[in-house]
Amino acid sequence: MFKPIDRRTALTNLALIIGGAALLPACDKPAGKASIALKKISIDADQEQFIADVAETIIPKTDTPGAKDLKVHLFVMKMVDDCFSPDDQKAFVDGLDKMAKQAKDKLGKPFGQATQQQREAFLTEIDNKKIQQKKDSQVKGKSGNATPQDDVLAFYSMVKGETIFGYTYSKYFMTKQIVYELVPGRYNPKLPVSQLKRVS
């Protein structure tokens, strides 16, 4: 129902807008909120953008959708918020800020403003560390909790793991790429590999 605004309300609204505007310069940047409700971790709009940029670098848009198109970064945030331990959550948030700073120092500009190539090069270095760490832990065996993960590596590992998970378990991927069959209706115990379709 439309209600004409009276003068008093209009003035109040104006005062609120001006008041808000007056407060703005006091902040370094507007503390925008994350676009989804989070219960445990605190992520602001800039941090969300950073997660999105990292996810998009991991799975970029090509002639098919990338991580951002599929909102995979929001899935990453939700998973970290709901399914990770407080320790992991802390490492995620700490590592996020550290990695954003590292990227800025190295690339000479914020991560999001770098080219895909630059961003890939930056992440590949961390990815290689992750690969090496995995190799080391395999050598040491499961008991060897020896290598303490630095926060940047922890953050990266979480974002990458959940990005791949979110992407390969997205509706797009499960209906257009590797089709998931809810009802196979068959069991063939002996199929020639040459006849295998890309279904999961």
Partner 1 sequence: MANLNTEAIKQHTFDAIVIGSGMSGGWAAKEFTEKGLNTLMLERGRDVKHLVDYPTTNMYPYEFAHRGQIPYDVQQANPVMNRCYIFHEDAEHFCVKDAQHPYVQEKPFDWIRGYQVGGKSLLWARQTQRWSDYDFEGPARDGFAVDWPIRYKDIAPWYSYVEKFAGIAGNRDGLDNLPDGEFLPGFPLNVVEQYFSNFVAKNYPGRHVISARCAHLSKPNQIHLDQGRAKCQNRVLCQRGCPFGGYFSANSSTIPWALKTGKLTLRPFSVVQEIIYDDAKNKATGVRIIDTNTKQVMEFYAKVIFVNAAAINTNLVLLNSKSKRFPNGLGNDSGVLGKYVAFHNYRARAWGEYDGEMEWTTDGRNPAGGGYLPRFRNVKKQETNFLRGYAAGFSAYRQMQTDENGVGESLKRNLMNPKLSGWKVGSHMMGETIPKETNTVSLDESKKDEWGVPQLKINISYDDNDEKMIKDYQEQMTEMFTKAGFKNVNVMDSKQAPGLDIHEMGGCRMGNDPKTSMLNKWHQMHAVNNVFVTDGASMTSTSTQNPSLTYMAFTARAVDYAVSEMKKGNI
Distance in angstroms (rounded) separating the CA atoms of residues 79 and 67: 15
Local structure of 175: helix, strand or coil? helix
In the complex, least distance from residue 6 CB atom to partner 1, rounded to whole angstroms: 45
Amino acid at 195: Q
Q: Which stretch binds partner 1 (CB under 8 A): 5-13, 14-22, 43-51, 124-132?
A: 124-132
Q: Using CB under 8 A, which of 9, 59, 95, 108 touches partner 1?
A: 59
Q: Using CB under 8 A, which of 15, 32, 82, 140 touches partner 1?
A: 82
Q: Does 164 bind partner 1 (CB under 8 A)?
A: yes
Local structure of 127: helix, strand or coil? helix
Nearer to partner 1, 89 or 149 (CB): 89
Q: Does 72 bind partner 1 (CB under 8 A)?
A: no
Q: Does 115 bind partner 1 (CB under 8 A)?
A: no
Residues in CB range of 174: below 8 A, 6 or more apart:
168, 180, 200
Local structure of 63: helix, strand or coil? coil
Cite the DSSP H helix spans in 59-170.
72-83, 86-107, 116-140, 151-168
| Residues making contact with partner 1 (CB under 8 A) | 57-60, 62, 64, 66, 78-79, 82-85, 116, 120, 123-124, 127, 131, 160, 164-171, 173-174, 177-178, 180, 182-196, 198, 200
